Amino acid sequence: MKVLVVSSEIVPFAKTGGLADVTGALPKALRRIGVEADCILPRYRCVDRDRFPLTGAGQSIRVPLGQREEGGGVEEADAGGGVHAFLVRNDRYFDREFLYGTREGDYVDNCERFTFFCRAVMEWIVSSGRRYDILHCNDWQTALIPAYMKTLYADREPFRTTGTLFTVHNLGYQGLFWNHDLPMTGLGWELFTPQGLEYYGQINLMKAGLVFADILSTVSDTYSREIQTPEYGYGLEGVLYERREDLYGIVNGIDDEEWHPAADRWIAANYSVDDLSGKAACRRDLLSAFGLPPGDEPILGLIGRLTAQKGFDLVERIGEWLAGQPLRMVILGAGERKYEEAMEALGRKYPERIAIRVAYDNALAHKIEAGADIYLMPSRYEPCGLNQIYSLKYGTVPVVRETGGLADTVVDADANPAEGTGFTFRRYEAEELMGAVSRALAAYADRTRWDGIVRRGMALDFSWEASARAYVDLYGKALRKRAPKG
């Protein structure tokens, strides 16, 4: 089976969030179980020739865009693990400082940029002579591809039996654009209906994936059910409910080479479930990295995009209470200015207890996972979440809200003492979060109990192999849908 993973960001080339981690790790994991997987993404400015030697002169392509044609190219790079990465080049669209927009907002031509990307993938497959059994598309930036497969390219070789899997990594970002952009996609107005791409007068690119892909998935079982409800469906719950028979949830694996306390190159000392002694050095190193005084009080860590999704308004609401507890807190994140300011204000008020770094800093993220004792993830919604999984691996006990992937990966240690790996709360309320943090602090004071919780989490297996096998099952389902009937 040959699979092409299509994504707008892929580690190690370009990353803003978990999507890149997943679409970077999955093709390698597929190769390890014998599936020929490649990946393709736009060639942004950050994918420069010095860091990523590109092979070959690149293949030039012509891409229809509305009434005109846009030129471009596809270059190739080694993604590691035997995976070929293809990079769609068009400097006008992708040679920019950021992937999707600046702090002031999204790039205004995002519809055009990602329409170009999707159509370029189709045209490149046609003209390069490459054959894939499965196109695995991810999030709205790639969602036009399943629609193209069933419309403009339905009768074109080599797509007649190609299956599509569309994976939703975050339904909060849907690719909503004004309907004047529809002709540019090449799709006809007959698709501008509520059953098609229309969404209250606009076009919704995510819907193209949800309506036209052979099989749908999202990144945890719980999230796959939540998104069929108005609370989590962001207006797409109806479409998702309609397609519930084809909708699956597969929890992300984690990249064991990058996130492994026994081999992590970013942390002060390595450690493992058999010998946890290195964690003490990691704690000291973390406090010093954040300029906090040394001490034995438990350290709470928090990393993430500073957005409402990640629960920063709840953290803000309990900030004063947190500062009064026997703990230290370190926060790493960048995002919405109002949350940055709120967190910075807390740090200024309690400089001995709370510290924040407004940045995107991978090395510091590793130091937090290793050096903290408790990891806080009170997300409003969380399709899968990676940081709570890293925390489990690093013996840093997660306190999470029971939603999406958080509910599927963390077991409450009070409700289930034999299997507990963290502390969970249900309702999105400040009191509930305070309750869960209090329970974690009480457990921390009981060293034997805490040690058991830490070790249970560290022993769990979140390697990619199981997830990759689950994806292969879905690829099989997609292919069966495309097999000629009769």
Residues that bind ligand ADP (CB under 6 A): 17-18, 21, 303-305, 332-334, 360-362, 365, 384-387
Read off φ and ψ for residue 47, nearest 5 degrees: -90, 70
In the complex, which residue's CB is closest to ligand ADP?
18
* For ligand ADP, the closer CB: 63 or 332: 332
Least Å distance between CB 289 and ligand ADP? 13
Q: Which residues contact 435 (CB under 8 A, 6 or more apart)?
A: 425
Least Å distance between CB 359 and ligand ADP? 6
Strands (E), 28-184: 36-42, 54-65, 68-80, 83-89, 101-102, 105-106, 134-138, 163-168, 176-178
* For ligand ADP, the closer CB: 15 or 279: 15
Least Å distance between CB 255 and ligand ADP? 9
* For ligand ADP, the closer CB: 140 or 148: 140
For residue 203, give Cα distances in angstroms to 99, 111, 174, 183, 277: 21, 10, 10, 11, 55
For the chain, helix (H) and strand (E) counts, in that order, are 19, 20
Helix (H, G, I), strand (E, B) or coil at 105: strand
Two tokens, residue 423: 């502390």
Least Å distance between CB 390 and ligand ADP? 7
Least Å distance between CB 174 and ligand ADP? 15
* For ligand ADP, the closer CB: 214 or 373: 373
Say how far apart CA 380 and CA 417 lie, in whole Å.
Answer: 26
Inter-residue contact 379 to 311 (CB < 8 Å): yes
Inter-residue contact 205 to 177 (CB < 8 Å): yes
Contacts within 8 Å (CB) and 24+ apart, 438-442:
438/325, 439/413, 439/414, 440/298, 440/374, 440/397, 440/399, 441/298, 441/325, 441/326, 441/327, 441/374
* For ligand ADP, the closer CB: 199 or 394: 394
* For ligand ADP, the closer CB: 305 or 317: 305
* For ligand ADP, the closer CB: 219 or 474: 219
Read off φ and ψ for residue 111, nearest 5 degrees: -60, -45
Say how far apart CA 365 and CA 87 lie, in whole Å.
Answer: 28
Say how far apart CA 64 and CA 116 lie, in whole Å.
Answer: 8
Strand order in the sheet with 83-89: 54-65, 68-80, 83-89, 36-42, 2-6, 134-138, 163-168, 215-218, 247-249
**CA nearest to 129, candidates 63, 61, 55, 82:** 61
* For ligand ADP, the closer CB: 108 or 359: 359
Least Å distance between CB 387 and ligand ADP? 4
Least Å distance between CB 215 and ligand ADP? 22
Least Å distance between CB 74 and ligand ADP? 27
Inter-residue contact 270 to 239 (CB < 8 Å): no
Element housing 211 (H / E): helix 205-212
Inter-residue contact 274 to 408 (CB < 8 Å): no
Least Å distance between CB 313 and ligand ADP? 16
* For ligand ADP, the closer CB: 89 or 169: 169
Quote the Cα angle for 441-444-446, to 5°: 125
* For ligand ADP, the closer CB: 151 or 307: 307
Say how far apart CA 373 and CA 300 lie, in whole Å.
Answer: 6
* For ligand ADP, the closer CB: 191 or 251: 251
Least Å distance between CB 405 and ligand ADP? 8
Least Å distance between CB 445 and ligand ADP? 28
Q: Whose structure tokens read 């080049």?
A: 89
